[in-house]
Amino acid sequence: MIGQTPRWEHFEHRADIGVAGYGRTAAEALEQAALALTAILCDPATVAASERVEIQCEAPDLELLLVDWLNALIYEMATRHLLFSRFRVQLDGGRLQGEAWGEPVDRARHQPAVEVKGATYTGLEAGQRPDGTWFARCVVDV
Partner 1 sequence: MDIQSFTKLSDTQWRIEPRGAMRVPAVIFASEPLLRELDDKVVEQAMNVASLPGIVEAAYVMPDGHWGYGFPIGGVAAFDAEAGGVVSGGGVGFDISCGVRTLHTGLDRAAILQVQESLAEALYYRIPVGVGSTGGVHLDRRGMDAMLKGGARWAVEQGYGKQEDLARIEEHGCMAGADPSKVSDHAKKRQQDEMGTLGSGNHYLEVQEVVEVYAPEIAAAFDIALGDIKVSIHCGSRGLGHQIGTEYLKRMVIAAPQHGIRLPDRELACAPIDSALGRDYLGAMRAGINCALANRQIITHLARKVFAELFGAELSLLYDVSHNTCKVEEHVVAGHRRRLHVHRKGATRAFGPGHPELPEDLRPAGQPVLIGGTMGTASYILSGTAEGMGLAFASACHGAGRAMSRHAATRRWQGRAVQNELAERGILIRSPSPRGIAEEAPGAYKDVSEVVEAADRAGLARRIARLEPLVCIKG
CA distances from 95 to 59, 68, 92, 116, 124 (A): 7, 11, 5, 24, 19
Q: Residue 93 or residue 130: which is nearer to partner 1 going by CB? A: 93
Residues 19-38 that bind partner 1 (CB under 8 A): none
Judged by CB under 8 A, does residue 2 bind partner 1? no
Binding of residue 132 to partner 1 (CB under 8 A): no
CB of 7 within 8 A of CB of 122?
A: no
Q: Which of 92, 20, 74, 80 is nearest to 52 (CA)?
A: 80
**81 lies in the site for partner 1, by CB under 8 A:** yes
CA 64 – CA 58 distance, rounded (Å):
9
**Does 100 interact with partner 1 (rule: CB under 8 A)?**
no
Q: Which residues contact partner 1 by CB under 8 A?
A: 10, 12-17, 41, 59-60, 64, 67-68, 71, 74-75, 78-79, 81, 105, 107, 111-115, 117-122, 124, 139, 141-142
